[in-house]
Amino acid sequence: MVNRGTRTLVLGGVRSGKSAYGESLLAPHRRVRYIATGPTTSTDAEWVARVAEHRRRRDARYTTIETIEVAEALRAEADEASLVDDLGNWLAATLDAHGAWDDPGVDLADARSALAAAVGDHRGDLVLISPEVGLAPVAPTPAGRRFQDDLGALNTAIAAVCDRVVLVVAGRVLELPGVASGVGLPAAVAPAPVASTTVASAPTTPDTIPADEGSASGPTASAVTDTAAGDLSDRPGVAGTPAAGLAPRPIDPTDAEVFATPTPPDPSVARAARERHADLTKPPGSLGRLEELGIWISACQGVCPPQQIENPAVVVFAGDHGVAAGGVSAYPPEVTGQMVATIASGTAAVNILARRSGATVRVVDMSVDAETAPEISGYKVRRSSGDLRVTDALTLAEARSALAAGRAIADDLVDSGADLLIAGEMGIGNTTPATVLIGALTRREPVEVIGRGTGIDDAGWIRKTAAIRDGMHRVRPILHDPLALLAAVAGADLTAMAGFLAQAAIRRTPVILDGVVVTAAAMVANELAPGATTWWVAGHRSTEPAHQIALDHLDLEPILDLSLRLGEGSGALLALPAVGAAVDILSSMSTFAEAGVTDSGSQPVPAT
């Protein structure tokens, strides 16, 4: 698949800051073509000064092309990062060229369509600046009205072929929602099974991950593994017959990044649970963190005492990352597809740990660079994600599709009765995008956040540090924009995870977070839906340095520290029994009064 750049239409009034913003979007590129549509030589001193100011702001990375043949200029180098500044001048010059200012019979539709088609076909990052004059009063002259009308039609036509449209007002950037081009249901992937569950071993380590010979998934590989003991076939859509609940929901990616503000877990129920803990037959606080967990689950459920977690569900989001080609992992990318098959067959670490905890496991291929079974790939956005060192991992349209998929999967599980959600992940190289997100959002240096992931050696460490540095550099201008951030570096798996985690909060469903990759996605989810973090606990602390940094940022204290560095959801699953125990304690222990045990309140105050 060809990696496409992002096409952004930047609208704004005079001196709104639209050009500066447009230029900032292309800051990560070493070379940018600047297609200037206005007259650059003029007897108008003020105009000349304006052009000079624009030139000053741009640096040596820019090659300037002065032309009104914008469609031709774009097509000449369709892979190059380009900035068109601006469409208002292009329109004025085109009206001139057609003698159309005061001839209503001249129609510019062909010129407009040719330009829109060239924009739609552009493959590199492209920013188009255009004035937004529709807000002004209708012009008093025929020529003024002609310009306004044609500019409105032009902006609409160009917006229709852009991935992103923003309006800059007083230096503030307003993201305009709407249907982006190329948005649709997730790509249907040919129903081909993953060929084998044999997992390639790391080129740099002697350890081979043994493939379970008896577990080849074959054409009937199930995306849902019934992991709890006993017959769970009465759980709709979660377990039982593998096909149940697997059909992907139809998703609408429009506005997938727009979330309501999550309502926090019920504080009055939390108070009641805290009071109940004080009455239980133990010194207050003696069960430490377990007490807080019980109070939290109570508040999440809105009931005290809480009910035991009956239907915990794990979703493993799988995807490949273009950056893995840069030698940032100890394992080759083909391991992702092989491990997806292993998880689907029920023998990976996540399955084994889920079985012990009574959780179901569903694996979802968001962007694996291989064909996977149809029940796994219904939400697939693309094969692999772009190499974050040099290009966006996803287009904005793809990022919206991935977010919408994550949200739909959370909805699906909650509607099917899941009462606690866990996100896991599988994707060779994914600690690199995770670390970029964490480093960028916490303003750290690459060397502070980098970890060894699957176990890279020192040469890999150097390559990974450089990749993290490049990724962090590319996202610097867009840190305030979670959707753009996800598209730039996260990839479809982490993006879907962010949608899943934020949607869990919207659906008032508690979540146990896993390691560095899931927590990186959680950081962006909390940017999309501020306050979502109140619905999450951290299952464990991974050995990845960025994980602790992300946990600090989210103000989360891990339940366990077992020196894990696996992912898949393993740390969250190991913490699940502790959450279950916290529920049992709060719901089933006797109070001092019930047991007839003397409370500390009865202790005589010693004479002094």
Ligand X SMILES: Cc1cc2ncn([C@H]3O[C@H](COP(=O)(O)O)[C@@H](O)[C@H]3O)c2cc1C
Ligand Y SMILES: O=C(O)c1cccnc1
61-66: long-range contacts, CB 8 A cutoff, minimum separation 24: 61/29, 61/30, 61/31, 61/32, 62/32, 62/33, 62/34, 63/31, 63/32, 63/33, 63/34, 64/34, 64/36, 65/33, 65/34, 65/35, 65/36, 66/36, 66/40
Spatial distance between the Cα atoms of 191 and 300, rounded to a whole number of angstroms: 40
Number of residues that bind ligand X (CB under 6 A): 20
Cα–Cα distance list, 227 to 219, 240, 245, 345, 512 (Å): 20, 10, 16, 11, 18
Reported in sequence order, the residue ranges of 476-599 that DSSP labels E, i.e. its strands, are 511-513, 536-538
Nearer to ligand Y, 161 or 494 (CB): 494
* Positive or negative: CA dihedral 218, 220, 223, 229: negative
Q: Is 428 in the site for ligand X (CB under 6 A)?
A: yes
Reported in sequence order, the residue ranges of 409-471 that DSSP labels E, i.e. its strands, are 420-426
Task: Considering the candidates 257, 371, 544, 568, report the single residue annotated as catalytic.
Answer: 568
| Member of 88, 124, 237, 429 binding ligand X (CB under 6 A) | 429
Note if 568 is an active site residue: yes
| Member of 336, 391, 454, 548 binding ligand Y (CB under 6 A) | 454
Which entry of ligand X, ligand Y, none binds 183, CB below 5 to 8 A by partner kind? none
Spatial distance between the Cα atoms of 482 and 494, rounded to a whole number of angstroms: 12
Q: Looking at 7-15, 248-256, 325-333, 586-594, which segment touches ligand X (CB under 6 A)?
A: 325-333
Residue type, 40: T
CA–centroid distance for 106 within its chain: 46
Q: Is 4 in the site for ligand Y (CB under 6 A)?
A: no
Which entry of ligand Y, ligand X, none binds 335, CB below 5 to 8 A by partner kind? ligand X
| Member of 223, 228, 328, 517 binding ligand Y (CB under 6 A) | 517
Q: Is 381 in the site for ligand X (CB under 6 A)?
A: no
Q: Is 391 in the site for ligand Y (CB under 6 A)?
A: no
| Member of 565, 572, 580, 583 binding ligand Y (CB under 6 A) | 565
Q: Is 369 in the site for ligand X (CB under 6 A)?
A: no
Q: Is 548 in the site for ligand Y (CB under 6 A)?
A: no
Give 359's contacts (C-beta < 8 A, 6+ positions apart): 227, 228, 312, 313, 314, 422, 573, 576
Spatial distance between the Cα atoms of 387 and 460, rounded to a whole number of angstroms: 16
Which entry of ligand X, ligand Y, none binds 199, CB below 5 to 8 A by partner kind? ligand X
Q: Looking at 160-168, 189-197, 262-270, 539-547, which segment touches ligand Y (CB under 6 A)?
A: 539-547
Nearer to ligand Y, 322 or 453 (CB): 453
* Binding characters for ligand X, 183-202, by CB under 6 A (x = yes): ----------------x---
For the record, the structure tokens of 242 come out as: 């593998």
Q: Is 431 in the site for ligand Y (CB under 6 A)?
A: yes
What residues make contact with ligand X under the rule CB under 6 A? 199, 209, 329-331, 335, 339, 425-432, 453-454, 566-568
Task: Give the residues lining the site for ligand Y (CB under 6 A).
Answer: 431, 453-454, 514-517, 542, 544, 547, 565-567
- Residues labelled as active-site residues: 568
